[in-house]
């Protein structure tokens, strides 16, 4: 990443503002106490919180079970339900409190109180039961970013069905693969969603996916959102509004074991096949619940806006489970940040009275580029806390966020975590931690991070760099990869003989014990905060008839963090001129179709062959240098055809 060197020069320190500290849930002393308690007895610390903070139908007596490590279990003999924790327990005190404030891209708004949300979730849960969905079944949710996506998640959780959300920007092919891997019984979708003034054809993609596989699917529930005409198969498809029309507004929660899987969420790894990350009910919920308090300092009068789509882990934990389990008010906005103009996000903050705003560096950089005049038009004085997630935030974007949106006084929480970790792992605690632009600072209470070298030895002392690992199990950690426990062990544990959880990020720890995340160590790109496996994009390219071989690397990009750069060899002659132009267009569209628009290569170059080592490995470091336009310093003398370097560079 281009910002590594600038990050390491970063010496600015921003202590928490006195007026924030005065009202904060945690100050430096109380944070130190929590950390000390966790240090003394990590699992006892978590157990105490789980008893105090979550509602259990059957209290647990077991805390951490490490007898099958690295498959850990937490609170295993307890029974709970995530939806009961998020909804039922607030009905008494907060029944009339707004749970969700919604704004559509077209300007439509609607609020849902906790009571209304509970009723709607129960109606859908009963509807799903009437279609035969039971505990343990997988339900794929492929929805626009509207409250109904949250309702669908909650309805699944309520009856003990596992939801597996597929981001609405993924293509029919990606949807099909995820449905098949999970052997899902049902899909919940919508006719269409709104994005950038266009209708996203969700139902059409479901039809396409189901026409080429997905034998496990029995029913498709369709929410009417866009209202445009869609194909409808009466024997298989069910309109959401018809399904729930006759259902009761109460539905007893299915009390599940704490280890019962709450959901699967597919994420990219360094191989072609996405991994179904499996999370538990009790442990996951505890992580989501506590981090809302520690990191976001959530209060009853907050309006919390996490801009992430429910299709990503951030949307799971900080749109749905974390805020609702704390009885908070969330804001959901369906559309793009620039519709109808570049001030939309700031107008929403003003009109909806947003107090906490949580977004991704790529969005901050994009909004920064659009100019300060946009936020200046709106009253952002209700904002009291800002957050960032998804990739390292460069100090320049951090300072802009701080100065222009944060009025030079709001705390910024730069939160490091992963789909696999379930909840934030490292972050400033806003009333307690002095921040440094570009650093996620330190681990939260009960989380134990380390920096290790190639051999797995702890890197001692200050200014340490190496692999980021987590040394103790924590409740919201992933439990396994769906259907492939061996891959779970190989991916996250085997590198250092099961001693630590290996995050796959490299990091640097400074003299103050602050962590600076440097990016991924595996072949995973971070494009606009979304993880994309290079192998996944390569397989998509190779599935095109003209492509013989492909190698994908990332190139630093001002707004997106990284952009996708593909080197391709073709069957037959290397295309040139107009033919090359046409094929590039076709390949971009092909990847869009296979995976989704977010994976489309920004640049494609053709060569007669790809540079390989003697053992036949593609020389990725060389390709990365070429993509960046750097001077080539690697030894290319062993290449069969050194002339291809010029081709790769686009010079021949
Ligand atoms: C990166 C998103 C630096 C990191 C919650 C991680 C970050 C991957 C940060 C997980 C951050 C996330 N600073 N890097 N604050 N947050 N990352 O699974 O490389 O979509 O491993 O989860 O994003 O991405 P995922």
Neighbours of 382 (CB within 10 A): 15
* pLDDT above 70 for 641: yes
* pLDDT above 70 for 5: no
- Determine contact, residues 202/210, Cβ cutoff 8 Å: no
What pLDDT sits at residue 268?
84
Nearest CA among 243, 295, 288 for reference residue 263: 288
517 pocket-lining for ligand 1 (C-beta < 6 Å): yes
Q: What would the mean pLDDT of 45-64 be, rounded to a whole number?
A: 98
For ligand 1, atom 4: residue with the closest CA: 391
- Determine contact, residues 487/386, Cβ cutoff 8 Å: no
291 pocket-lining for ligand 1 (C-beta < 6 Å): no
Beta bridge partners of 256: 80
What pLDDT sits at residue 6?
53
Bridge pairing between strands 515-520 and 524-527: unpaired
* pLDDT above 60 for 3: no
**Among 289-303, 432-446, 617-631, the least confident range:** 617-631
367 pocket-lining for ligand 1 (C-beta < 6 Å): no
The sign of the CA dihedral 181, 185, 191, 193 is negative
Q: What would the mean pLDDT of 289-300 be, rounded to a whole number?
A: 98
Half-sphere exposure (Cβ direction) of 405: Cα atoms closer than 13 Å: 33
Q: No. of H helices and E strands in the chain?
A: 23, 30
Q: What would the mean pLDDT of 119-134 be, rounded to a whole number?
A: 98
What pLDDT sits at residue 8?
62
What pLDDT sits at residue 264?
98
Model pLDDT for residues 382-429, shown as the tens digit of each residue = 999 999 999 999 899 999 999 999 999 999 999 999 999 999 999 999
Local confidence band at 2 (pLDDT 50, 70, 90 cut-offs): very low
What pLDDT sits at residue 1?
36
For ligand 1, atom 8: residue with the closest CA: 418
- Determine contact, residues 193/334, Cβ cutoff 8 Å: yes
- Determine contact, residues 446/474, Cβ cutoff 8 Å: yes
Ligand 1 center to 417 CA (angstroms): 5
Model pLDDT for residues 77-117, shown as the tens digit of each residue = 999 999 999 999 999 999 999 999 999 999 999 999 999 99
Ligand 1 atom having least distance to the Cα of 519: 19
Model pLDDT for residues 581-599, shown as the tens digit of each residue = 999 999 999 999 999 999 9
- Determine contact, residues 26/432, Cβ cutoff 8 Å: yes
- Determine contact, residues 644/636, Cβ cutoff 8 Å: no
In terms of Cβ atoms closer than 10 Å to its own Cβ (0-12, 13-18, 19+), residue 462 is exposed
531 pocket-lining for ligand 1 (C-beta < 6 Å): yes
267 pocket-lining for ligand 1 (C-beta < 6 Å): yes
The sign of the CA dihedral 80, 264, 283, 527 is negative
What pLDDT sits at residue 500?
97
Q: Chain-wide mean pLDDT for the chain?
A: 94
- The angle, 0 to 180 degrees and rounded to 10, between the axes of the packed helices 42-53 and 28-40 is 120
Alpha-carbon distance 71 to 489, whole Å?
Answer: 8
Local confidence band at 520 (pLDDT 50, 70, 90 cut-offs): confident
Q: Can you give 142-179 as a three-state secondary structure string? A: ECCCCHHHHHHHHHHHHHCCEEEECCCCECHHHHHHHH
Q: What would the mean pLDDT of 29-47 be, rounded to a whole number?
A: 98
Nearest CA among 498, 222, 517, 501 for reference residue 394: 517
- Determine contact, residues 115/91, Cβ cutoff 8 Å: yes
- Determine contact, residues 518/1, Cβ cutoff 8 Å: yes
Ligand 1 center to 611 CA (angstroms): 30
440 pocket-lining for ligand 1 (C-beta < 6 Å): yes
- The angle, 0 to 180 degrees and rounded to 10, between the axes of the packed helices 282-294 and 42-53 is 90
For ligand 1, atom 10: residue with the closest CA: 418
Pocket test for ligand 1, best of 358, 414, 417, 509 (most atoms within 8 A of CB): 417
**Higher pLDDT among residues 9 and 421, named by residue:** 421
Which tokens belong to 369? 């580029």
Ligand 1 atom having least distance to the Cα of 393: 13
Which residue, chain included where needed, has tokens 């699944």?
Answer: 156
**DSSP secondary-structure letter at 598?**
G
What pTM, to 2 d.p., does this model score? Answer: 0.94
Q: What would the mean pLDDT of 178-184 be, rounded to a whole number?
A: 97
DSSP 3-state of 606: strand
**Among 273-287, 426-440, 478-492, 611-625, the least confident range:** 611-625
Q: What would the mean pLDDT of 502-512 be, rounded to a whole number?
A: 93
Ligand 1 center to 424 CA (angstroms): 10
What pLDDT sits at residue 285?
98
Alpha-carbon distance 52 to 234, whole Å?
Answer: 48
Ligand 1 center to 36 CA (angstroms): 27
Alpha-carbon distance 81 to 58, whole Å?
Answer: 10
């Amino acid at each position: 990443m281009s910002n590594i060197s600038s990050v390491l020069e970063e010496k600015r320190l921003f202590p928490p503002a006195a007026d924030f500290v005065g009202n904060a849930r945690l100050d430096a002393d109380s944070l130190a106490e929590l950390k000390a308690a966790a240090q003394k007895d990590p699992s006892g610390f978590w157990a105490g919180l789980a008893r105090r903070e979550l509602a259990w139908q059957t209290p647990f007596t077991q805390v951490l079970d490490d007898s099958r490590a690295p498959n850990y279990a937490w609170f295993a003999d307890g029974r709970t339900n995530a939806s009961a924790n998020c909804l039922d327990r607030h009905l008494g005190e907060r029944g009339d409190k707004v749970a969700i404030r919604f704004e559509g891209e077209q300007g439509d708004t609607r609020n849902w109180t906790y009571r209304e949300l509970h009723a709607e979730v129960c109606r859908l849960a009963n509807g799903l039961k009437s279609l035969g969905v039971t505990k343990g079944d997988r339900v794929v949710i492929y929805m626009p970013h509207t409250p109904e996506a949250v309702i669908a998640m909650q309805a699944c959780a309520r009856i003990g069905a596992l939801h597996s959300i597929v981001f609405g920007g993924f293509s029919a092919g990606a949807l099909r693969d995820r449905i098949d891997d999970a052997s899902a019984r049902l899909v919940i979708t919508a006719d269409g969603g709104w994005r950038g003034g266009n209708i996203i054809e969700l139902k059409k993609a479901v039809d396409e996916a189901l026409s080429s596989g997905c034998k496990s699917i029995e029913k498709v529930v369709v929410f009417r959102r866009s209202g445009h005409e869609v194909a409808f198969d009466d024997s298989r498809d069910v309109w959401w509004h018809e399904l729930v029309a006759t259902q009761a507004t109460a539905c007893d929660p299915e009390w599940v074991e704490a280890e019962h899987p709450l959901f699967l969420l597919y994420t990219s790894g360094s191989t072609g096949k996405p991994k179904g990350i499996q999370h538990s009910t009790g442990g996951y919920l505890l992580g989501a619940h506590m981090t809302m308090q520690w990191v976001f300092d959530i209060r009853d009068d907050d309006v919390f806006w996490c801009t992430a789509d429910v299709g990503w882990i951030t949307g799971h934990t900080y749109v749905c489970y974390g805020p609702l389990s704390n009885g908070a008010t969330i804001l959901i906005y369906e559309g793009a940040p620039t519709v109808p103009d570049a001030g939309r996000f700031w107008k929403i903050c003003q009109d909806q009275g947003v107090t906490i705003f949580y977004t991704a560096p790529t969005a901050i950089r994009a909004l920064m580029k659009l100019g300060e005049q946009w936020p200046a038009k709106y009253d952002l004085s209700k904002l009291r806390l800002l957050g960032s997630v998804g990739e390292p935030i460069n100090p320049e974007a951090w300072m802009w966020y701080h100065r222009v949106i944060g009025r030079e006084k709001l705390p910024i929480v730069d939160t490091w975590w992963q789909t696999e970790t379930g909840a934030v792992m490292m972050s400033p605690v806003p009333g307690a931690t002095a921040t440094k632009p570009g650093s996620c600072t330190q681990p939260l209470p009960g989380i134990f991070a380390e920096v290790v070298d190639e051999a797995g030895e702890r890197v001692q002392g200050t200014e340490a760099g190496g692999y980021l690992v987590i040394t103790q199990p924590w409740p919201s950690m992933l439990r396994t990869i769906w259907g492939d426990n061996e891959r779970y062990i190989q991916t996250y544990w085997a590198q250092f003989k099961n001693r630590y959880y290996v995050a796959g990020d490299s990091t640097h720890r400074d003299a103050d014990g602050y962590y600076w995340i440097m990016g991924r160590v595996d072949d995973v790109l971070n494009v606009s905060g979304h993880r994309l496996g290079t192998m996944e994009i390569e397989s998509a390219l190779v599935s095109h008839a003209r492509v013989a071989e492909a190698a994908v690397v990332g190139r630093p990009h001002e707004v997106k963090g990284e952009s996708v750069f593909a080197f391709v060899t073709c069957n037959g002659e290397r295309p040139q001129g107009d033919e090359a132009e046409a094929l590039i267009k076709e390949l971009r569209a092909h990847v869009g179709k296979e995976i989704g628009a977010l994976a489309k290569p920004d640049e494609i170059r053709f060569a007669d062959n790809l540079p390989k080592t003697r053992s036949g490995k593609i020389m990725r470091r060389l390709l990365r240098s070429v993509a960046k336009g750097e001077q080539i310093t690697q030894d290319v003398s062993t290449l069969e055809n050194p002339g291809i370097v010029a081709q790769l560079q686009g010079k021949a």
